[in-house]
Amino acid sequence: MLRTLRWFAPLVALPLLACVDASAPDQADSDTGTSESDTGGSEPDDRVLVNHDFGEFVLEPLQELENCVQWTVDNDEAVYVQGVTLSNLGYFHHSNWFVVPETLYEGPDGFFPCGSRGFSELEAAISGTVLFAQSTQSFVEVQRTADGAVIKIPPRHKVVAGTHLLNVGPSEVSTRLFMSLEIIHPRDVELVLTPFRLSYLDIDIPAQTESRFTGVCDNFGERYAEATGAPINMKLHYAVAHYHYLGNYFDLSFGGGPLDGQSVYRLDGFNGEANGLVFDPPLDLAGVESLSYTCGYDNWRDVNVGWGIGDQEMCVMLGLAESKIMFDATVTGGTKAVGTSPDGALDFQGPCGVLPVAKNPAQAEPTDEERAGELYIPPSGDPGLPPVPACIDHDPSVAPAIEPTLSNVQGVVFQQSCSFNACHGDSGQAAGLNLQAPDLLAELLNHEVVGNPGVALVEPGDPENSWLYQIIASCQPDGGTGSHMPLNSPVLLDDRSIALVREWILDGAPGSP
């Protein structure tokens, strides 16, 4: 029954609840589109893709902020979402998405300071429902549950999110955010999914060692039965876990019933890709008495790390289930050291409290009238908008915005697009390349390119014959046989960032002064 995700190319995930900042700048510029979906089946395909562009957002050098963003779907009737695709052009560390009444957090669409409208993720989840959770640093992520298991957007509800943006480089950057909703006909809906959250707030991760923190919910089945008046009758459809740059492990296990002692969802490693898991068929939790969830960390730093954003950590899992209630299970204290795991990690455990929450009545299944009617499509403004932005090759006429030094190349390009997500950093060197190496210039000049494309990684004075430039400047490097970087991005870096690398190589690839 164990379902393990191992990472040979980028990973990670996201929380249902996170802090938000009241001082984010206000930026808005958005557009919406609709297109038909082709599933290739023989039956009539009553589904559409409704696509939305949230607009551009600019981050100052070394800026980190948490702000909000919204999209008024403008739907007079309920819509039933089978799948969600979220894509961005970078710098979105993570984001948590909800469906709420239009009258909540009133204001224009686009980005806004969360505090200016009193936004609360807990309030949003209770007032509406959870729509989506973006994995840490993922560029493109698709959440598509089993056919007929949907997320409902009731009439006159909108999409709103708390986002965490981060620019760790010395230059101003801009990004964009896109969402695509796959909407199906009400007659094809079998159930409306219910969200739940697991979190471990009481983490104090020891320095310079590996450790694991396990939340133990011994009375989970009992609390569920008390809230519903009947034994647990729940089926798990989707799970997505979240930790940050030190995280390297996650596990979800159950006790009691047919799943007793079984691990059903496990992550092993970190990179920067989507890592949600769809259970199809859904996992029947009948007879379950307890659950436990574990987050593991490799803290290579010389200080302990706690819960938070920035250089701190998190431990969260969002689940979508067939359930009579929502619930929130959290460890807020009582953590104790309990020994060492077989692989040498220090083990800690804490008791979780389980808080049942009543489902919003608006989250009911489609009515007979809806099932018998036509497929309702909410208004849209740009039918040509694709679900995911298309890749466009670098424009070599663009100049860099700052001086093309190795230090600036490292800060603008390597740090936040290559090593921050652990692909080419101290905690993981894909293809043997460490872009956080103490002698970075030697690492770049002496690295042997895997796959033998016939060029050096960096050929001083010659960008066109430098593999580093080729893979960031071309959507299909090496005549289409290679993959552009960042590997998990649908598009290239912005032209000014690529120009910085180009001009540094053209200048002879000098070391830092």
At residue 490, the pLDDT reads 85
Question: Which tokens in the block code for residue 186?
Answer: 């009400």
Angstrom distance (rounded) from CA 245 to CA 313: 8
Whether 321 and 292 have beta carbons less than 8 Å apart is answered as no
**Which segments of 54-198 does DSSP mark as H helices, in order?**
121-127
Rounded CA Rg of the chain: 23
- pTM of the entire predicted model: 0.83
Angstrom distance (rounded) from CA 52 to CA 176: 11
Residue-wise pLDDT tens digits, 228-241: 999 999 999 999 99
**Pairing of the two strands 140-144 and 79-88:** antiparallel
**What is the amino acid identity at position 140?**
V
Spell out the domains of the chain, with CATH numbers in brackets.
45-189+365-388 (2.60.120), 193-357 (2.60.120.230), 406-507 (no CATH)
Smallest CA-to-CA distance from 72 within 110, 120, 34 is with: 110
Angstrom distance (rounded) from CA 66 to CA 447: 38
Whether 275 and 188 have beta carbons less than 8 Å apart is answered as no
Whether 191 and 148 have beta carbons less than 8 Å apart is answered as yes
At residue 420, the pLDDT reads 58
Task: Give the number of C-alpha atoms closer than 13 A to the C-alpha of residue 472, restricted to the C-beta side.
Answer: 23
φ, ψ for residue 274, nearest 5 deg: -65, 140
Angstrom distance (rounded) from CA 238 to CA 279: 6
At residue 84, the pLDDT reads 96
User: 292-314 in b/e burial notation, b at 16+ Cβ within 10 A?
Assistant: bbbbbbbbeeeeebebebeeebb
At residue 13, the pLDDT reads 28
Angstrom distance (rounded) from CA 97 to CA 187: 26
Name 100's Cβ contacts closer than 8 Å, sequence gap at least 6. 124, 127, 128, 157, 158, 160
**Which segments of 152-307 does DSSP mark as H helices, in order?**
220-228
The tens place of each residue's pLDDT in the chain, 513 residues long, gives 444 442 222 222 222 333 333 333 344 444 556 555 433 333 446 778 999 999 999 999 989 898 999 999 999 999 999 999 999 998 888 899 999 999 999 999 999 999 999 999 989 999 999 999 987 778 889 999 999 999 999 999 999 999 999 888 888 888 999 999 999 999 999 999 999 999 999 999 999 999 999 999 999 999 999 999 999 999 999 999 988 888 999 999 999 999 999 999 999 876 566 788 999 999 999 999 999 999 999 998 999 999 998 789 999 999 999 999 999 999 999 999 999 999 899 999 999 999 999 999 999 999 999 999 999 999 864 667 888 888 999 999 999 999 999 999 988 888 777 765 557 766 666 777 878 788 889 889 988 887 767 789 999 999 999 999 999 999 988 765 668 888 778 889 999 999 999 999 999 999 865
Q: Where are the beta strands (DSSP E) in 171-232?
A: 173-184, 191-192, 194-200, 209-217
Whether 488 and 422 have beta carbons less than 8 Å apart is answered as no
Whether 210 and 346 have beta carbons less than 8 Å apart is answered as yes
Residue-wise pLDDT tens digits, 57-85: 999 998 989 899 999 999 999 999 999 99
**Pairing of the two strands 157-166 and 31-36:** unpaired
Please work out, in degrees rounded to the nearest 5, the angle formed at the alpha carbon of residue 398 by the alpha carbons of 394 and 401: 115
Task: Tally DSSP H helices, then E strands, for the chain.
Answer: 7, 27
Q: Give the three-state DSSP class for 510.
A: coil
Name 442's Cβ contacts closer than 8 Å, sequence gap at least 6. none
At residue 4, the pLDDT reads 41
Whether 113 and 67 have beta carbons less than 8 Å apart is answered as yes
Question: Which tokens in the block code for residue 480?
Answer: 């289409």
Angstrom distance (rounded) from CA 219 to CA 291: 8
The 3-state secondary structure of 18-77 reads CCCCCCCCCCCCCEEEEEECCCCCCCCCCEEEEEEEEEEEEECCCCEEEEEEEECCCCCC
Angstrom distance (rounded) from CA 255 to CA 218: 8
Angstrom distance (rounded) from CA 483 to CA 122: 40
**Pairing of the two strands 262-268 and 4-6:** parallel
At residue 57, the pLDDT reads 93
Q: Give the three-state DSSP class for 127.
A: helix
